[in-house]
Amino acid sequence: MHRFDIVIIGSGMGGLVCGDLLSREGYQVCIIEKNKQLGGCLQSFSRDKRIFESGVHYIGGLEKGQNLYRIFDYLGLMEKLHLERINEDAFDKIIIGDDPKVYSLAQGWDQFYDSLLRDFPGEEPGLKKYRDTLRGICLRFPLYNLRSGGSFAEKTEAMEVDTERFIKSCTENEKLRAVLGGNNILYAGRGNETPLYVHALIQNHYIESSWKCLNGGSQIGKFLAANIRERGGVILRNTEVKKIVGDGKEATHVTLADGNVIYAAVFISNLHPMKTLEMLEGLRIKPAYQHRLESLKNTVSSFTLNIVLKKNTVPYQSSNTYFHKEGKLWSLDEYTQDNWPLGYGVFFTPQRDNHQWAESVSIITYMHFEEVEQWGDTFNTTLYPSERTAEYQEFKKLKEEKLLDCVAERFPGIRENIEAIYSATPLSYRDYIGNDDGSLYGIAKDYREPLKTLIPPRTHVSNLFLTGQNLNLHGILGATISALSTTTAVMGNDSVVEKIRNAENA
Ligand SMILES: Cc1cc2nc3c(=O)[nH]c(=O)nc-3n(C[C@H](O)[C@H](O)[C@H](O)COP(=O)(O)OP(=O)(O)OC[C@H]3O[C@@H](n4cnc5c(N)ncnc54)[C@H](O)[C@@H]3O)c2cc1C
């Protein structure tokens, strides 16, 4: 009977980075992925020969010396990835209600500060407070800075602050407040809920440097998978794990949808923690742990328009644009059927050989899973494909038109230059990622219960660990940092963090 050192369930960013880091340490890993394509949210797809992203519209922290650069460089990715820096004067543009002005968030803290000061003269004290507080918070998170150890107390203070309230404390100017929080779709920000550390860690890494992948974010998954295979790792696709089986406190094997069984000494789940618990068989979990996980809320799901544009009609924009209706910034998910959508994000796909014209664009807004629940028993997965009804297609069409009407007010050139639209609902994300509700970023963090919403990699099963966006933070950087903390927990020491920090080129 073959027994792997480590079985990793799911090949999302967290699972693949764990697999790469641990195979570099000599472990034989086996990654089991239910989909045909590896990568979870890293997957890119093409429609009418145009590339679309599912969950990598842009990445931060990739300039030499920055946090994600150092990890990616250690993993040999930096020399292979095809990246392009986003417009340095505006990685994000914020547009608000009927205000014709477009506000820019610039890369580099000095440029960020100076450009906002030009738009909001007299706001030095508030902008300084914003900048200094965010930078201070980022320093308190050891793995974000590739430091080992660090005490919990170091972070706690920052974890107990509400983002909306903090931004309000920086300035009385409503417009500046709306600009500073304007890209909160990035983390499904909610007023009186989203902790400031989530805003700070994400905003900071994009301010430090922002990049798009040329030819799709799926290249990250492909290169990580190649690294793992090179070191003797095994990657199974189209293979769904059904159960994690054990005897009391220790897992022994996983059973697969096809009835096969795979044994390992250690198991890492890249799935939502609740999905992981549902898979346990013969393993004891303390009821308090189970209840704690059950009580956690997920971030909202989304509705996405993936638009194929007519050739040479719509100019390419490397900046991302976020729109929100006046006064709705921190409650974009509290829409009604009448006022939906309350905001959206626009992401143009870069072309390697054409920077003048856009060939495709994705527009993302929120949608609650309840809106599509009536079609919840239909699936669009490799293993269990099923037809969705004409009513569902009609529902999508209606939503496409409504979102386009809203977008056309600020992007007049798009509607008449559409060649084709492919939309994704919460059901698409559910089927893609394998969660229950198509949640955008997994477990929602909450400043009122910061420790409860921060999930440790260890579980109550001694050899079962968690990884991915649900732990520390979501996003490419967040899931990578989660993978670092999982690797540290599996190995029982911080040596990998040390190695990354001391790597030659970093
Ligand atoms: C619409 C959208 C846009 C985003 N945009 C950005 C962005 O621009 N920049 C950014 O940094 N981040 C972005 N993100 C977030 C980022 O993509 C995710 O946080 C991150 O990729 C999640 O990684 P993960 O490790 O948690 O794995 P996931 O991507 O959640 O992958 C989990 C994997 O497990 C597999 N799986 C599930 N069940 C099973 C099973 N039973 N057996 C085997 N395999 C299974 C799934 O198929 C999947 O491959 C975006 C996310 C979304 C949804």
Query: Which DSSP symbol is given to 298?
Result: B
Residues 6+ away with beta carbon under 8 Å from 307: 360, 361, 362, 363, 414, 418, 420, 421, 422
pLDDT at position 33: 97
Does position 182 have pLDDT exceeding 70, yes or no?
Answer: yes
Beta strands in 214-342 (DSSP E): 234-236, 241-248, 250-256, 261-269, 280-283, 301-309, 320-324
pLDDT at position 2: 85
Q: Residues 426-438: what's their mean pLDDT?
A: 89
Specify the DSSP element, H or E, that contains 156: helix 152-159
Q: Is the CB of 474 under 6 A from ligand 1?
A: yes
Specify the DSSP element, H or E, that contains 104: strand 103-105
CA of 362 to the centre of ligand 1 (A): 17
CA of 481 to the centre of ligand 1 (A): 14
Of the candidates 187, 135, 141, 136, which has an alpha carbon nearest to the alpha carbon of residue 164? Answer: 187
* pLDDT tier, 73 (very low <50, low <70, confident <90, very high otherwise): very high
Specify the DSSP element, H or E, that contains 345: strand 343-348
In terms of residues, how long is the chain? 506
Q: Which one has a higher pLDDT value, 46 or 432?
A: 46
pLDDT at position 189: 98
CA of 236 to the centre of ligand 1 (A): 17
Nearest CA residue ID for atom 16, ligand 1: 475
pLDDT at position 504: 66
Nearest CA residue ID for atom 45, ligand 1: 10
| H runs (alpha helix) in 174-241 | 174-180, 196-208, 218-230
Q: Is the CB of 457 under 6 A from ligand 1?
A: no
Please classify residue 36 by burial: count the beta carbons closer than 10 Å to its beta carbon, then call 0-12 exposed, 13-18 middle and 19+ buried.
exposed
What's the pTM value of the predicted model, to 2 decimals? 0.97
Instruction: Give me the amino acid identity at 413.
Output: G
Does position 112 have pLDDT exceeding 90, yes or no?
Answer: yes
Of the candidates 300, 248, 201, 256, which has an alpha carbon nearest to the alpha carbon of residue 30? Answer: 256
* pLDDT tier, 152 (very low <50, low <70, confident <90, very high otherwise): confident
pLDDT at position 353: 84
Nearest CA residue ID for atom 48, ligand 1: 40
**Bond into 341 cis (ω within 30):** yes
pLDDT at position 175: 98
Nearest CA residue ID for atom 51, ligand 1: 55
Ligand 1 atom at minimal distance to the Cα of residue 10: 34
Q: Is the CB of 185 under 6 A from ligand 1?
A: no
19-24: long-range contacts, CB 8 A cutoff, minimum separation 24: 19/224, 19/228, 19/233, 19/235, 20/75, 20/224, 20/227, 20/228, 21/75, 21/483, 21/484, 21/487, 21/496, 22/487, 22/490, 22/491, 23/227, 23/228, 23/231, 23/232, 23/233, 24/227, 24/231
Does position 506 have pLDDT exceeding 60, yes or no?
Answer: no
Dist. CA 179–CA 203, nearest whole Å = 12
CA of 173 to the centre of ligand 1 (A): 36
What is the percent of the chain with per-residue pLDDT over 90, rounded to a whole number? 89
pLDDT at position 385: 60
pLDDT at position 337: 96
The tens digit of pLDDT for each residue in 310-351 reads 999 999 999 999 999 999 999 999 999 999 999 999 999 998
Paired strand residues for 323: 95, 344
What is the percent of the chain with per-residue pLDDT over 70, rounded to a whole number? 98
Q: Residues 437-443: what's their mean pLDDT?
A: 96
Of the candidates 471, 149, 421, 466, which has an alpha carbon nearest to the alpha carbon of residue 279? Answer: 466
Q: Residues 65-87: what's their mean pLDDT?
A: 97
Q: Is the CB of 302 under 6 A from ligand 1?
A: yes
* pLDDT tier, 505 (very low <50, low <70, confident <90, very high otherwise): low
Token pair, residue 401, equals 């038109």
**Cβ pair 143, 481 in contact under 8 A:** yes
Does position 382 have pLDDT exceeding 80, yes or no?
Answer: no
Ligand 1 atom at minimal distance to the Cα of residue 279: 41
Ligand 1 atom at minimal distance to the Cα of residue 35: 47
Per the listing, tokens 């507080």 go with: 133
CA of 469 to the centre of ligand 1 (A): 7
Does position 381 have pLDDT exceeding 80, yes or no?
Answer: no
Q: Residues 370-395: what's their mean pLDDT?
A: 83
pLDDT at position 176: 98
**Cβ pair 304, 438 in contact under 8 A:** no
Does position 132 have pLDDT exceeding 90, yes or no?
Answer: yes
Dist. CA 128–CA 319, nearest whole Å = 24
Q: Residues 200-218: what's their mean pLDDT?
A: 96
Query: Average pLDDT, whole number, for the chain?
Result: 95
Query: Which mutation among 17, 41, 204, 480 tests ligand 1's pocket best, with the greatest number of atoms within 8 A of CB?
Result: 41
Domain boundaries, the chain: 2-44+58-74+215-296+446-503, 83-87+111-213, 300-440
CA of 235 to the centre of ligand 1 (A): 17
Domain 2-44+58-74+215-296+446-503 CATH class label: alpha beta
pLDDT at position 328: 96
Q: Is the CB of 426 under 6 A from ligand 1?
A: no
Residues 6+ away with beta carbon under 8 Å from 328: 334, 342, 343
Dist. CA 76–CA 78, nearest whole Å = 6
CA of 293 to the centre of ligand 1 (A): 19
In this structure, of 155-159, 210-214, 367-371, 450-454, the range with the lowest mean pLDDT score is 155-159
